[in-house]
């Protein structure tokens, strides 16, 4: 036994020597095995974009052997957060129309604005703004769905974010897809363009919903995703009105309807799932499909409260999403964690509901599992991608810091000082290193001013 332990320590030491990047002296929250216990002072050694070794400082390699050293003293090192649902380009519509009835918001504000203002340029710059916002808030992976998604993929790639970028499919004329007959082909072209191109951007298919896509489109889009081995995303069961309409038109509830079309499998990600029957929760669990909950969006648009505890109890992989900035209005998973933890407590009148460690797991491992990336992301373990964030604990709202629960109830995206994606430092001392953020904000502000003025 002693020999074995010594051998493992020796192996770990070997793996850690001569690394590209070495993070030292930080409190470590590895999330390995869902554990939220802290290692009070530890190191992470990174080589070739992967985590080479993780451990307590006593086992740390010689800093002189590392390419770059980051001193995380007084700080906390944890896996980068996984945002399982965004429409990055919609930053342009952030706060454009708040506090309105859902259909007024959608049909009188968002859809007309999208029809007029979404073009490749807008998608690139507004997605880049979203990427900056997410990275600066500790999100290292985003699952995105929009139109002109090729441009969104470019923005994520240029920003240094990891992404699952999904081309939108809808049975209406859409930006870049004037004829809906070409919607699945457009998605196929998008996948072909991105498949295997980079380690950070994975292409996927995003069918808008069962009420905006007919059954043929839904089946074809899922077949495309299956054939290409990429994830398939769909909004479903978001509102009571959607469920009522589905019952009327399809004679059944939305998830059951998708199941009947053969759409549920482990590569399908069901977004929202606010209104589910117990039978539907069982169907999802049995199929291996994943679910994404967007707490801020569900609250602000008054969609409802998803049966999250029931989904988790059934063993469903559940991730958290910010949704687009138009319905949130901020892309910060620390806030989503706080919202979801508190919402489920007050709704159930049970302060033990959805404890903080479960919420931390959803924002990291749960999200990675929902996106089919659990083997690569979601915890600090040797062999996983080197996506990690470093938070500054030397702040009044994080003092004292008894345990990791405080990350849910008191931390916020702005506490993140350093962000590493794929082994590269993309945010240092809260400054984004990958592009000129001021220029991107100026461009988006000019677009917003034109939109506000109603000019062409």
261, β-bridge pairs = none
Give the residues across from 21 on adjacent strands. Answer: 46, 68
Shortest separation between residue 302's beta carbon and a second copy, angstroms:
4
CA atoms within 13 A on the CB side of 266: 8
| Helix, strand and coil percent figures for the chain, each rounded to 5 | 45, 20, 35
From residue 345 to residue 384, what is the string marking binding to a second copy with x (rule CB under 8 A)? xx-xxxxxx-xx----------------------------
The answer to whether 95 contacts a second copy (rule: CB under 8 A) is: yes
Q: Which helix (H) or strand (E) holds 227?
A: helix 215-228
Q: Does 405 bind a second copy (CB under 8 A)?
A: yes
100 touching a second copy, by CB under 8 A: yes
H/E element holding 152? helix 149-159
Smallest gap from Cβ 43 to a second copy, in A, equals: 23
Site for a second copy in 274-303 (CB under 8 A): 296, 298-303
Stretch that binds a second copy, among 6-14, 128-136, 208-216, 253-261 (CB under 8 A): 128-136
Tokens at 437, concatenated:
């953020």
Span interacting with a second copy, options 174-182, 243-251, 308-316, 340-348, rule CB under 8 A: 340-348
Phi/psi for 3 (5° steps) reads: -60, -45
Decide: is 406 part of the binding site for a second copy (CB under 8 A). Answer: yes
Q: Measuring CA to CA, how many Å separate 448 from each of 93, 164, 204, 443?
A: 8, 27, 29, 9
CA pair distance 447, 125, nearest whole angstrom: 10
Examine residue 339 and tell whether it contacts a second copy (CB under 8 A): yes
Question: Which region, judged by CB under 8 A, interacts with a second copy, from 108-116, 170-178, 313-321, 341-349?
Answer: 341-349
> Out of 251, 409, 431, 439, which residue is the one contacting a second copy (CB under 8 A)?
409
Instruction: Give the residue from 305, 291, 405 showing the smallest Cα distance to 347.
Output: 305
Q: Could you give the CA distance from residue 240 to residue 7 in angstroms, rounded to a whole number?
A: 58
Which is closer to a second copy, CB of 29 or CB of 437? Answer: 437
Residues 27-86 that bind a second copy (CB under 8 A): none
Q: Which of 32, 57, 314, 410 binds a second copy (CB under 8 A)?
A: 410
238 lies in the binding site for a second copy (CB under 8 A): no
Question: Residues touching a second copy: how many (CB under 8 A)?
Answer: 74
The only residue of 3, 178, 397, 454 in contact with a second copy, by rule CB under 8 A:
397
Exactly one of 151, 338, 392, 422 binds a second copy (CB under 8 A); that residue is 338
401 binds a second copy (CB under 8 A): yes
Stretch of 39-47, 59-67, 133-141, 278-286 contacting a second copy, by CB under 8 A: 133-141
Candidates 199, 176, 201, 181; CA nearest to 191 is 201
- Judged by CB under 8 A, the residue of 77, 136, 362, 380 near a second copy is 136
The values of phi and psi at residue 205, to 5°, are -115, 135
Q: Where are the beta strands (DSSP E) in 121-267?
A: 139-146, 162-169, 201-207, 232-236
From candidates 96, 113, 312, 374, binder to a second copy by CB under 8 A: 96
Residue 227 to residue 171: CA distance in whole angstroms = 21
Question: What are the tokens at 251?
Answer: 């004679």
Q: Is 394 in the site for a second copy (CB under 8 A)?
A: yes
């Amino acid at each position: 036994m002693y020999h074995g332990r010594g051998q493992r320590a020796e192996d770990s030491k070997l793996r850690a020597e001569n690394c590209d990047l070495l993070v030292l002296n930080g409190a470590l929250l590895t999330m390995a095995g869902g554990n939220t216990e802290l290692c009070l002072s530890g190191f992470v050694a990174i080589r070739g974009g992967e985590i080479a070794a993780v451990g307590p400082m006593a086992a740390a390699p010689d800093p002189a052997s590392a390419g770059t050293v980051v001193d995380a003293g007084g700080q906390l090192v944890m896996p980068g957060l996984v945002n399982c649902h965004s429409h990055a380009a919609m930053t342009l519509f952030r706060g454009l129309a708040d506090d309105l009835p859902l259909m007024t918001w959608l049909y009188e504000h968002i859809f007309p604005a999208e029809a007029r203002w979404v073009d490749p340029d807008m998608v690139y710059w507004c997605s880049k703004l979203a990427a900056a916002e997410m990275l600066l808030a500790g999100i290292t992976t985003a699952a995105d769905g929009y139109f002109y998604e090729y441009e969104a993929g470019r923005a994520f790639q240029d920003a240094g974010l990891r992404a699952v970028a999904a081309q939108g499919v809808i049975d209406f004329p859409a930006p870049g897809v004037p004829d809906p007959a070409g919607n699945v082909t457009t998605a196929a072209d998008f996948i072909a363009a991105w498949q295997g191109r980079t380690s950070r951007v994975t292409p996927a298919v995003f069918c808008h919903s069962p009420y905006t896509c007919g059954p043929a489109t839904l089946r074809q889009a899922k077949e495309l995703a299956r054939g290409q081995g990429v994830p398939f995303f769909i909004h479903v069961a978001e509102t009571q009105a959607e469920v009522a309409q589905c019952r009327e038109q399809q004679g059944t509830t939305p998830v059951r309807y998708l199941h009947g079309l053969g759409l549920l499998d482990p590569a399908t990600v069901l977004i929202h799932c606010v209104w589910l029957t117990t039978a539907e929760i069982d169907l999802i669990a049995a199929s291996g499909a994943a679910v994404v909950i967007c707490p801020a969006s569900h609250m602000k648009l008054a969609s409802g409260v998803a049966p999250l505890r029931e989904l988790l109890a059934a063993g469903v992989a559940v991730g958290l999403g910010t949704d687009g900035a138009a319905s949130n209005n901020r892309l910060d998973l620390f806030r989503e964690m706080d919202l979801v933890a508190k919402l489920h407590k007050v709704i159930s009148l049970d302060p033990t509901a959805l404890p903080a460690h479960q919420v931390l797991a959803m924002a990291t491992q749960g999200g990675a599992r929902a996106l089919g990336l659990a083997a690569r992301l979601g915890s600090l373990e040797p062999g996983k991608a080197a996506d990690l964030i470093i938070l500054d604990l030397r702040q009044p709202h994080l003092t004292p810091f008894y345990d990791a629960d405080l990350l849910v109830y008191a931390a916020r995206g702005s506490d993140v000082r350093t962000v590493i994606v794929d082994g590269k430092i993309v945010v240092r001392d809260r400054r984004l290193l990958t592009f000129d953020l001021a220029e991107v904000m100026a461009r988006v502000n000019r677009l917003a001013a034109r939109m506000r003025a109603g000019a062409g």
